[in-house]
Amino acid sequence: MSSATESSSSNGAASPDETPDINLPAPEAKPAAKPAPDKFDFDLFVIGTGPGGEGAAMQAAKGGLRVGVAERYRQIGGGCTHWGTIPSKALRYAVTSTMKSLKNPVMREMGFAASPSMEQLNRGTQAIIGRQVTMRQSFYDRNSVPISRGQARFVDEHTITIDNGELITAAAFVISTGSRPYRPKGVDFSHPRIFDSDTILEMKDKPTSITVYGAGVIGTEYASMFRNLGIKVNLINTRDKLLEFLDDEIIDALSYHLRDQGVIIRHNETMESIEGLDDGVILRLKSGKVLKTDVFLWANGRQGNTDDLGLKNLPIEANSRGQIVVDEHFQTCLPHIYAVGDVIGIPSLASAAYTQGRAAGMHLLGRVDGNLRLNDIPTGIYTSPEISSVGSTERELTERCVPYEVGQAQFRSLARAQITGETTGMLKLLFHRETKEILGVHCFGANASEIIHIGQAIMNQPGRQNTIDYFIETTFNYPTMAEAYRVAALNGLNRLF
C-alpha cells in the first residue's frame, strides 16, 4: 500500500489546501495494547511498508515482538519511494544540476547548448528507486519480519484478510496506508494532458507551458521545477498567499523569487471547469479567467487510502478525505489499532511518518516517555531554492506577546554562496530578547533542508544551553553555508540594548 508522501508526494508540510482539517472528534487517550503471544499469529501486524509502516515494524521487531506486514504493491516502500518523495526529488536534482551546468559561463563560452527531454531527466530515477527498495527489503529480512503481498482488509478487530484469501490475526495493528492525490469529479484524469502529482512523473514530452492548480507544498515545488526548465508556468492558488503556515517573510521571499523567475501566480481563485483538448488544456476559473496551456497538473489535496481497508467491520471511521482520527499516541478509537503517516493527515511528511511509526511501536512496547520530539518536526519544501523551518514564526510569537528579536544572514554575504553562485536566500533566527533562547529558525536558500538541523539541535538543548550565544562563541568552518548562523546571531545581538 502507498505510504506517506511528502506530500510531498511532496515533500514538505502539507498546506491547509492539501490536507483539510479533520472534522471528527479526537478520541481520548487509551492504554497501550498488550500482546498475547499464544492467541494470535502476530503481536503486531502493519498494513503498508512506507516510512510509517517501516518505522513501526522495525521498532516493534527490535523490541522483541512478532511482527508481520502487508504490502499491496509488488515492491515495498510505498508512495514515498515509488511515486512521491524519492522520484520527485531525484527529478528535481536532475533539473537543477543540469540547468545549472547549462547556464555556466564556461559551458556557454564553449558553445555547449542542449534541451534535455523529460525522459532523459528521469532516466536515473528507477536506479535510485531500486537501491531504496533493496535497502529497505534488507531491513525486513534482517529483523525476520515476513511480508504478505496483497490488499489487507479488516474482518474484525483482530483479523485481516489478504487478497489471496489468507487470514491473519494479531494482537495489535498499525495502519500506514498513506494517501493519494485527491481527484475531484468532473476532471478527466485519463486525458493525456491532464496529470496529478503521481502521474506527472510519467510525462514523456517537455511542454512549453503548464498550469498548476493548487499552490501548497506539492504545487509550488513542481511550479519551481518546471520553471527551471524554461517552461511557462501558471500557479493557481485557492488562498490569498502561498504556504500560509510559513513565516511571513519567507512567504514573501518565495513569492518574489517565483515571480522573478517568471511564474504567474494567481491568488484566491477557484476552478469552474477543466477541459482537455488535443492541443492543450483549458482551465476556467469562477472569477471569469480562462487559461490555456499545453498540460495541466492538479495539485490540490490528497485522499487517505482507507476506502478498501474493511473499516466498515470496525467502529473506526474515516473523514471525507479518508483520514483517520488518532490520539497523541496514534491510537484510534480501538486502543490496539494505531494509524500513522499521511492516512492521519497533517503534517503529511515522510520524515514525520517514520517518527510516528516508531512512536506507535514504542507505545505498544510500553515506552511512552515521549522522547521522539513529535512536536519538533521541521518543514522541508524542495522549491528552488529550498525552504525549511522549525519552531515559531514571527506571526505566532506576536500573537502570544512573546518579546522576541530577529537575527538575519543574507546568503549573498557568505563567501561559500558567492563561490557556488547560490546567493539567493537567507537564514533567520527568532530569539527571546531577554533570555536569548532560540524560538524559531527559518531558512530560504540552497541546502536549507540541511542547514536547518543545526538550529534544530541547539533549540532542543536544555535550559541555558539553548541561546544564540552558542553560534557567537562557536568557530564554524570557513567558507561554509553553516557560517550563516554566526552572522545571523551577531546581527540579532546587535539589535539588543
pLDDT at 30 over 70: no
DSSP per residue, 26-41:
PPPP-PPP---TTTSS
pLDDT at 331 over 60: yes
Q: Is the peptide bond before 385 cis (omega within 30 degrees of 0)?
A: yes
Class of domain 385-493 (CATH, top level): alpha beta
Helix axes 217-228, 248-261, angle to 10 degrees: 30
Q: What is the mean pLDDT of residues 69-94?
A: 90
pLDDT recorded at residue 101: 75
The C-alpha angle with vertex 352 and arms to 351 and 354, in degrees rounded to 5, equals 70
Residues 6+ apart with CB under 8 A from 67: 42, 43, 44, 45, 46, 57, 60, 61, 143, 145
- Provide CATH 3.30.390.30 ranges for the chain: 385-493
Residues 210 and 231: their CA atoms lie apart, in Å, by 7
Residues 438 and 493: their CA atoms lie apart, in Å, by 12
**Which amino acid, one-letter code, is at 227?**
R
357 known member of a binding site: no
Residues 33 and 27: their CA atoms lie apart, in Å, by 15
What kind of fold does domain 194-300 have according to CATH? FAD/NAD(P)-binding domain (3.50.50)
pLDDT recorded at residue 23: 37
150 known member of a binding site: no
Q: What is the mean pLDDT of residues 98-114?
A: 70
Sheet holding 438-445, edge to edge: 379-381, 386-391, 438-445, 425-432, 404-410
On whether the CB atoms of residues 42 and 168 are closer than 8 A, the answer is yes
DSSP-derived 3-state class of residue 440: strand
188 known member of a binding site: no
Residue burial 107-132, b: 16+ Cβ < 10 Å; e: rest: eeeeeeeeebebeebbeebeeebeeb
219 known member of a binding site: yes
Residues 195 and 296: their CA atoms lie apart, in Å, by 6
On whether the CB atoms of residues 339 and 24 are closer than 8 A, the answer is no
Residues 72 and 454: their CA atoms lie apart, in Å, by 38
| Mean pLDDT rounded to a whole number for the chain | 89
What kind of fold does domain 42-179+303-364 have according to CATH? FAD/NAD(P)-binding domain (3.50.50)
Residues 393 and 409: their CA atoms lie apart, in Å, by 17
Among residues 71, 286, 293, the alpha carbon closest in space to that of 164 is found at 71
Lowest-confidence region among 150-159, 161-170, 177-186: 161-170
pLDDT recorded at residue 10: 42
Q: What is the mean pLDDT of residues 200-217?
A: 94
Residues 2-21: pLDDT tens digits? 333 344 344 444 433 443 33
Among residues 89, 115, 400, 344, the alpha carbon closest in space to that of 229 is found at 115
220 known member of a binding site: yes
420 known member of a binding site: no
Q: Grid coordinates representing 153?
A: 482488509
- Name the more confident of 79 and 193: 193
218 known member of a binding site: yes
Q: Note the helical H segments in 229-380.
A: 248-261, 350-364
Residues 143 and 126: their CA atoms lie apart, in Å, by 26
**Rounded to the nearest 10 degrees, how much is the dihedral formed by the CA atoms of 104, 106, 109, 115?**
-40
pLDDT recorded at residue 425: 95
Length of the chain: 497
pLDDT recorded at residue 37: 57
Q: What DSSP designation does 10 have?
A: B
On whether the CB atoms of residues 378 and 388 are closer than 8 A, the answer is yes
pLDDT at 369 over 80: no
Residues 397-414: pLDDT tens digits? 999 999 999 999 999 999
What is the pTM for the complete model shown? 0.87
pLDDT recorded at residue 82: 87
Q: Grid coordinates representing 35?
A: 500482546
Residues 113 and 98: their CA atoms lie apart, in Å, by 11
215 known member of a binding site: yes
379 known member of a binding site: no
DSSP-derived 3-state class of residue 92: helix
Q: Residue 279 CB: number of other CB atoms within 10 A? A: 7
Give, in order, the Cα–Cα distances in Å from 357 to each of 78, 158, 302.
14, 19, 20
342 known member of a binding site: yes
Residues 449-489: pLDDT tens digits? 999 999 999 999 998 899 999 999 999 999 999 999 999 99
pLDDT at 119 over 90: no
pLDDT recorded at residue 79: 87
Q: What is the mean pLDDT of residues 315-328?
A: 93
pLDDT recorded at residue 96: 85
Lowest-confidence region among 48-52, 97-101, 307-311, 442-446: 97-101
- Provide CATH 3.50.50.60 ranges for the chain: 42-179+303-364, 194-300
Task: Name beta bridge partners: 41.
Answer: none
Place of cell 544572514: 409
Q: What is the mean pLDDT of residues 50-73?
A: 95
179 known member of a binding site: yes
Q: What is the mean pLDDT of residues 159-173?
A: 91
Q: Grid coordinates representing 317?
A: 471511521
Residues 395 and 392: their CA atoms lie apart, in Å, by 8
DSSP per residue, 379-393:
EEE-SSSEEEEEE--
